[in-house]
Chains A and B, each alone.
Chain A
């Protein structure tokens, strides 16, 4: 939405105030949510570390060193080593790549699917809505974890496939929220105006509806990312997700169970990574929700 622009600096000699752009308003609101800001930075660091990590990692994820097995954290191995002498710091970095990629992929994927279905069924209404909303209800009614577990047990999942499966199961919340917004947007004056001058339905959805639901989409993409990271870790922890030797935070925790007392660092570090990531994702989602809410008052 374009804001009126006034010349002159804010609070300048003329006494005129420059109107703020939408982006500035959102940024100002987001900055106020200190925790979300901190979490955004932490997540950025984690994602960068995970993707640059393989070059930074001192060892390979499957590199075994039998002269350094079961070592407690030290300068050499900041997160210790396991019973095969594999450096846990390197494995946490590689595992993070898998876990974070699955999370982000599922978050973005489910949001795209959910938004498409939500916009179509909300905008067209009638039988399109009956089908779209019905399908949404249907997927939401499936028992999520049992379905995921059966799929994981029968098929061997690569990280990409897990992200796809999670996206295919997690989109309904996005679709519901987007549809609800589109139902009101459809009746709004600017959409009716566009329709009255003959703009095609497709163009209306793309140019007039979509920009107004982007806020919901961003928040949901963030929250689904958190759910997806948890789901992948559960699945891999149960031995039904990412298969060793490829590390993910979930299967590292499964690996750690055989020696929880003797080698606690194998449990502690992946746990810290998962909890930190998910808490940060959720706080970020919270902050974004406040910042992107068009009804929020200053």
Chain B
């Protein structure tokens, strides 16, 4: 087991190393961060050289990469935004909380709806509700998250407001005026992001529950006359919840990617929206930093899912 963990961790580090090299060099291809200054007639060539020397831009790329990595790993410093002329770390810091809030709420909503739906579908297999949930989760899987966002925006923010003459949900942005305002501005983005999660959790919980319901010890439990409630909730559910743990870790990866898109649709001031903004504005150090943060989290959650898989289920062994 220990050997397995060590191997997985080393592998994850290798993936991150490759990702950092690729992201650094690809973004470097996009252009010189000082291009904007070069167009300024008041700045001479000597000034440019001086500025380039201060920020290490006169060094070869692999040296720049080394410095970037060193600062990132040892000092948590992501460099300077040449566009906004501040530290990348302080730009990103403001954007973390909105993203955490968005992803956290979607996760909770997804679990709160998906798991009961999955359990119910399994207990009442092939009932109308089961078939409806199956069909809807299929549709949920197939709808791109940005499209869902657009549709929610059109229906619930624009048309509903026109209909009522009163806006319940804002079209975009985060409103921190009061808790209620915050919840109202959070509602649509969270829904857009959570729909896929609900689909994933309900499908997964259904099949996990069906597996358990077919087990011998469940027949024993029924045979000795326990009530349905006890059989389902105590004997079946406890075991059927185990595999969900790994799915939650994997789903966080999906939510991270989804957040980039949903935040852009709703102009939600999180890291995903910042990523797209900075790429469109050529603010490349910010983009690099966010990609690395998302990359580290993605690799971490994948690793976690992998390891949890063997920890929560004693039947899985890697020896």
Which positions in A face B, CB cutoff 8 Å?
137-138, 141-147, 149-151, 153-154, 226, 230, 233-234, 237-240, 253, 257, 260-261, 264, 267, 271, 274-275, 278-279, 281-283
Question: Does residue B39 face the partner (Cβ distance < 8 Å to A)?
Answer: no
Q: Please name 8 pairs of A and B residues whose Cβ atoms are closer than 8 Å in the assembled complex, sorted by A.
A: A141-B299, A143-B19, A149-B275, A150-B23, A233-B147, A261-B158, A267-B150, A282-B142
Question: Does residue B245 face the partner (Cβ distance < 8 Å to A)?
Answer: no
A240 surroundings in chain B (CB, below 8 A): 276, 279
A237 surroundings in chain B (CB, below 8 A): 146, 261
Complex Cα spacing A281 to B298, Å: 28
Scoring B142, B145, B150, B294 by chain A CB atoms within 10 A of each residue's CB, the highest score goes to: B142
**By the criterion CB–CB under 8 Å, are A150 and B295 in contact?**
no
Complex Cα spacing A150 to B257, Å: 13
Other CB < 8 Å A-B pairs besides A153-B30, A264-B154, A282-B138, 10 of them? A146-B257, A146-B275, A146-B294, A149-B276, A150-B279, A154-B29, A240-B279, A274-B147, A279-B138, A279-B139
B158 surroundings in chain A (CB, below 8 A): 260-261
Of the residues A149, A154, A238, contact of B30 by C-beta under 8 Å: A154
**By the criterion CB–CB under 8 Å, are A278 and B260 in contact?**
no
B143 to chain A, nearest CB (A): 6
Produce 1/0 per residue, B269-293, CB < 8 A to A: 0000001100110000001000100
Contacts A149-B276, A154-B30, A264-B154: A233 and B144 contacting too (C-beta < 8 A)?
A: yes
Contact-residue size bin, chain B (C-beta under 8 Å from the other chain): 35 or more
Closest A residue, CB atoms, query B296:
A143
Kindly identify, within residues 141 to 171 of chain B, every residue whose CB is under 8 Å from any CB belonging to chain A. Answer: 141-147, 150-151, 153-154, 158, 162
**By the criterion CB–CB under 8 Å, are A145 and B257 in contact?**
yes
**By the criterion CB–CB under 8 Å, are B144 and A154 in contact?**
no
**By the criterion CB–CB under 8 Å, are B257 and A274 in contact?**
no
Of the residues A141, A257, A278, contact of B12 by C-beta under 8 Å: A141
A264 surroundings in chain B (CB, below 8 A): 154
Contacts A238-B264, A239-B280, A275-B143: A146 and B291 contacting too (C-beta < 8 A)?
A: yes
B200 to chain A, nearest CB (A): 14
**By the criterion CB–CB under 8 Å, are A138 and B141 in contact?**
no
Of the residues B147, B279, B302, contact of A149 by C-beta under 8 Å: B279
Of the residues A141, A233, A267, A283, contact of B154 by C-beta under 8 Å: A267
B209 to chain A, nearest CB (A): 21
Question: Does residue B15 face the partner (Cβ distance < 8 Å to A)?
Answer: yes
Complex Cα spacing A154 to B284, Å: 10
Complex Cα spacing A184 to B295, Å: 35
A222 to chain B, nearest CB (A): 12
**By the criterion CB–CB under 8 Å, are A153 and B287 in contact?**
yes
**By the criterion CB–CB under 8 Å, are A230 and B144 in contact?**
yes
Question: Does residue B231 face the partner (Cβ distance < 8 Å to A)?
Answer: no
Complex Cα spacing A260 to B22, Å: 38
Complex Cα spacing A238 to B256, Å: 16
**By the criterion CB–CB under 8 Å, are B257 and A138 in contact?**
no
**By the criterion CB–CB under 8 Å, are B144 and A274 in contact?**
yes
Of the residues A147, A226, A234, contact of B261 by C-beta under 8 Å: A234
**By the criterion CB–CB under 8 Å, are B26 and A151 in contact?**
yes
**By the criterion CB–CB under 8 Å, are B154 and A260 in contact?**
yes
Closest A residue, CB atoms, query B294:
A146
B141 surroundings in chain A (CB, below 8 A): 282
B28 to chain A, nearest CB (A): 9
Question: Does residue B221 face the partner (Cβ distance < 8 Å to A)?
Answer: no
Question: Does residue B4 face the partner (Cβ distance < 8 Å to A)?
Answer: no
B19 surroundings in chain A (CB, below 8 A): 142-143, 147
Complex Cα spacing A39 to B18, Å: 41
Of the residues A150, A226, A283, contact of B27 by C-beta under 8 Å: A150
Of the residues B27, B145, B295, contact of A154 by C-beta under 8 Å: B27
Question: Does residue B11 face the partner (Cβ distance < 8 Å to A)?
Answer: yes
B287 surroundings in chain A (CB, below 8 A): 150, 153
**By the criterion CB–CB under 8 Å, are A150 and B294 in contact?**
no
**By the criterion CB–CB under 8 Å, are A271 and B27 in contact?**
no
Scoring A141, A147, A275 by chain B CB atoms within 10 A of each residue's CB, the highest score goes to: A141
B261 surroundings in chain A (CB, below 8 A): 145, 234, 237-238
A279 surroundings in chain B (CB, below 8 A): 138-139, 142-143
B150 surroundings in chain A (CB, below 8 A): 253, 257, 260, 267, 271
A153 surroundings in chain B (CB, below 8 A): 30, 279-280, 287
Contacts A143-B257, A260-B158: A150 and B12 contacting too (C-beta < 8 A)?
A: no
Complex Cα spacing A88 to B232, Å: 54
The 5 closest A-B pairs by CB, nearest first: A145-B257, A153-B279, A143-B298, A279-B142, A278-B142
**By the criterion CB–CB under 8 Å, are A238 and B257 in contact?**
no
Closest B residue, CB atoms, query A152:
B279
